[in-house]
Amino acid sequence: MRSGLEERVSKYFDKHNVTYLYEASKFPYVIESQYTPDFFLRNNVVIECKGFFKPSDRRKTLAIKAQHPDLDLRFIFQRNNTISKNSSTTYGDWCTKHGIPYCIYPDIPEDWLQ
């Protein structure tokens, strides 16, 4: 069980002979929203600048890439921090894993700008 309340409810169900399955199915869902990138370059490169790369930003990025596979989205990070205190994965590692070009400011690749 994932929480104390879930555990208490399952014990209640057990005590009252209620048949149940715990987390037996998953239901996908999409939340509709709008994304406004930071910079649009003449070469169709879209630049997103990030200081702190929050988990919600990472989820949003994956959703944008899935729904707009032709979007040439690239990140410029302030630093190549780890994605959390408990992880050794850096922002750059995450981008590489997901096929998203990135750089650390001020080392912007010249070919991004042409």
Q: What are phi and psi of 73, to 5 degrees?
A: -90, 130
73-85 tens-digit pLDDT: 999 999 999 999 9
> What domains appear along the chain, each with residue ranges and CATH number?
28-113 (3.40.91.30)
SS (H, E, C) 37-99: CCEECCCCEEEEEECCCCHHHHHHHHHHHHHCCCCEEEEEECCCCECCCCCCCEHHHHHHHCC
Q: Which residues have a Cβ under 8 Å from the Cβ of 111 and sit 6 or more positions away?
A: none
pLDDT at 1: 72
Distance CA 35, CA 32 (A): 10
The alpha-carbon radius of gyration of the chain (Å, integer) is 21
User: What is the model's pTM?
Assistant: 0.78
pLDDT tens digit sequence for 4-55: 999 999 999 999 999 999 999 999 888 889 999 999 999 999 999 999 999 9
